Amino acid sequence: MEQRVEIVVAVFAVLSGLLLRSAQAGEVRIEVEAEEDVYSYMPPNNGSGPLWSYGCTQLARLGDEVYVSQMETGEGVPPLANTRWKLLRRTGAGWAVLAQPEGYRQREPCPLATTSDKILFLNVNDSTQPPGTKYGPCEPALIKFTISGSEASQERIMPSWGEQPYYTDHSYRGFAADRRHGQLLMLNIDAKTSIQHACLLSTSGQTLANASITFPIRACYPQVALSNGAAHVLAIGDIVEPIKEWREFKFERTKREWDYVFRILYFTWSPDIMKQGFAAPIEIANVDATGGYISNQDLWISSSGEAYILYTQREVQSALLRDKFFPGKSIISSLYLAVVKEGAITSKRTLIAGTETSEPGCARFHVAKNGTVYAVLYVTGPEAGNKLMQVYPLLNNPPLIPIPLKNPMGSYCLAGVRAGNEPSNTIDMHGQAKENTMSYARIVLH
């Protein structure tokens, strides 16, 4: 009997070693099981769009079912708050509307999060003003959907912010869920002070804690993660071009009034948001000196509390700025991965170095069932399309594996773990592959 046990243990050890080596080698087979259009939309012309809140997600998986938060523009409704949400569920007959409000009170898309296979939360930012009002007061809230068969009951949850912030139709919101602990974290920006206010809630709607973040400059489009009581926030500086000479030169050439720049990437965290506030923000990357451009792509928290940060960066924002002020500098984007532990950067590496013919674009984390973490990417160039790259465990030379979509998505969101979705060997992907059309793809990892 002992000999049989030893043999079983030995076989198990060999198989475990093979599986580990396979994972470390980044070996995975990709199968696209579904690829379809979800809805077409009319641009709202209010400065927003279906993926405007790109730090959040408009996609969720509850067990075997997939849900999308649609952004619908009201015909004839004046901006800014001229859209409404529609909650869609994927069925055997296609995408069906599960719920929708009567009026058009949103400027931006409404993110989703989940804490169980029966509960879904929709993050709304309702305008309280008449149609056509611009930069008017808004009321952030959650709509809790409890799913039962083909029906879904609704409950409106009003967070208590602890202060009296001034929220408008430009929410620059963040939204995260901790599925294991049944908690949600909302972020919304004060339009007068640019302070990001945070509210921690239970699934029953009780406000558990409040906190706020004051970045050195206005920082927006946050990725937010909530894990074991710790809150993590990644946000990009978003201000009008601060260099007078550059600003005047760009306007002279383009006649464009809109001139916001994104050059400093910030990160902050609280080890226990119920007990203490956020630490002073640290800089993850800074291309201020060369008039560069940074895009915060995604955030993932490991079981040991390390924050993995994906971002793209280019040295100079545009050819126009480079040719006048920075000849010889680069306008090519590259993809980077930074790791932060307890408020300090522990590592930083280039995942994809852009070239004259190919650059990385959108990048989102996906966590597989066995804990392997991938980056779902879009890359331009001769072999343009969506790709998969293993980023955890870290590999020396991770392969860039093509995802064989018929219509690749240049911008998209995933049903990710930051929004309470469980790790899975299925990648649910929602994004734009065609003009004014939002698509869905189900990708299985084998």
B/e letters for 100-130, b = 16+ CB within 10 Å, e = fewer, are: eeeebbbbbbbbbbbbeeebbbbbbbbbebe
Residue 40: closest CA among 1, 82, 108, 88: 88
The values of phi and psi at residue 208, to 5°, are -100, -30
What band does 242 get if pLDDT is binned at 50, 70 and 90? very high
CA–chain centroid gap for 255, Å, is 32
Please tell me whether the peptide bond between 400 and the residue prior to it is cis, using omega within 30 degrees of 0.
no
Query: What stretch of H or E contains 358?
Result: none
Residue 420 DSSP symbol:
T
What architecture does CATH give domain 2-445? 7 Propeller (2.130)
Strands (E), 262-333: 264-270, 282-286, 293-301, 307-314
Residues contacting residue 37 through CB under 8 Å, at least 6 positions apart: 434, 437, 438, 439, 440
The reported pLDDT for the residue numbered 22 is 41
> For 258-278, what is the mean pLDDT?
98
Residue 8 predicted with pLDDT over 70: no
Residue 82 predicted with pLDDT over 70: yes
Residue 4 predicted with pLDDT over 50: no
> For 244-265, what is the mean pLDDT?
97
What band does 27 get if pLDDT is binned at 50, 70 and 90? confident
CA pair distance 403, 217, nearest whole angstrom: 38
What band does 26 get if pLDDT is binned at 50, 70 and 90? low
The reported pLDDT for the residue numbered 162 is 86
Centre a 10 Å sphere on the Cβ of residue 32 and count the other Cβ atoms it contains: 16
Residue 34 predicted with pLDDT over 60: yes
> For 410-418, what is the mean pLDDT?
98
The reported pLDDT for the residue numbered 55 is 98
What band does 54 get if pLDDT is binned at 50, 70 and 90? very high
What band does 1 get if pLDDT is binned at 50, 70 and 90? very low
CA pair distance 42, 338, nearest whole angstrom: 37
Please tell me whether the peptide bond between 360 and the residue prior to it is cis, using omega within 30 degrees of 0.
no
Domain boundaries, the chain: 2-445
The reported pLDDT for the residue numbered 163 is 80
Residue 265: closest CA among 279, 283, 291, 281: 283
The reported pLDDT for the residue numbered 197 is 98
Residue 2 predicted with pLDDT over 80: no
Which two three-digit tokens encode residue 61?
Answer: 């998986």
Which two three-digit tokens encode residue 259?
Answer: 């001139």
- Report in angstroms the alpha-carbon separations of 11 from 5, 17, 18, 61, 370: 10, 10, 11, 36, 20
Residue 6 predicted with pLDDT over 90: no
CA pair distance 327, 325, nearest whole angstrom: 6
Residue 211 predicted with pLDDT over 80: yes
CA pair distance 314, 243, nearest whole angstrom: 18
pTM of the model: 0.93
> For 375-380, what is the mean pLDDT?
98
> For 433-444, what is the mean pLDDT?
97
